């Protein structure tokens, strides 16, 4: 079946540290891949996306590259800030009628100053 696996959290970092959150997927067909972020007490916001292999999504200093050969979409940021503390969800969609976003279990990031 179709699924998303992301690294277990919580991830605890100091400000300005390098961040990697691993995400791998299993999908039939050619999915689009996403990272969503959920700040405390808020809904989900799209952070970045990639719709085909080798595409790189980027936003707010975060990046992720769609790697078809390793079925991965790892999230990275070179220097995290306290304000990046949130839950990060990797997700895919199959771009077909009758489908919806399939989410990973979420990774909680906590950044301290």
SS3 104: coil
State in angstroms the smallest separation of the CB of 42 from another protein. 6
Looking at 25, 34, 62, 73, which residue binds another protein (CB under 8 A)? Answer: 34
Looking at 13, 17, 27, 87, which residue binds another protein (CB under 8 A)? Answer: 87
SS3 37: strand
Query: Contact at 8 Å (CB) between 33 and 73?
Result: yes
57 binds another protein (CB under 8 A): no
1 binds another protein (CB under 8 A): no
Contacting residues toward another protein, per CB under 8 A: 32, 34, 36, 38, 42-46, 49, 51, 87, 89, 93-103, 105-106, 108
């Amino acid at each position: 079946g179709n699924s998303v696996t992301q690294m277990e959290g919580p991830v605890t970092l100091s400000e300005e540290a390098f961040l990697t959150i691993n995400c791998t997927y299993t999908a039939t067909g050619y999915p689009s891949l996403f990272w969503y972020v959920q700040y405390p007490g808020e809904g989900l916001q799209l952070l970045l996306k990639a719709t085909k292999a080798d595409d790189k999504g980027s936003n707010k200093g975060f990046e992720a590259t769609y790697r078809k050969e390793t079925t991965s979409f790892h999230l990275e940021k070179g220097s995290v800030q306290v304000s990046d503390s949130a839950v990060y969800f990797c997700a895919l969609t199959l771009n077909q009628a009758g489908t919806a976003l399939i989410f990973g279990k979420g990774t909680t990031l906590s950044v301290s100053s």
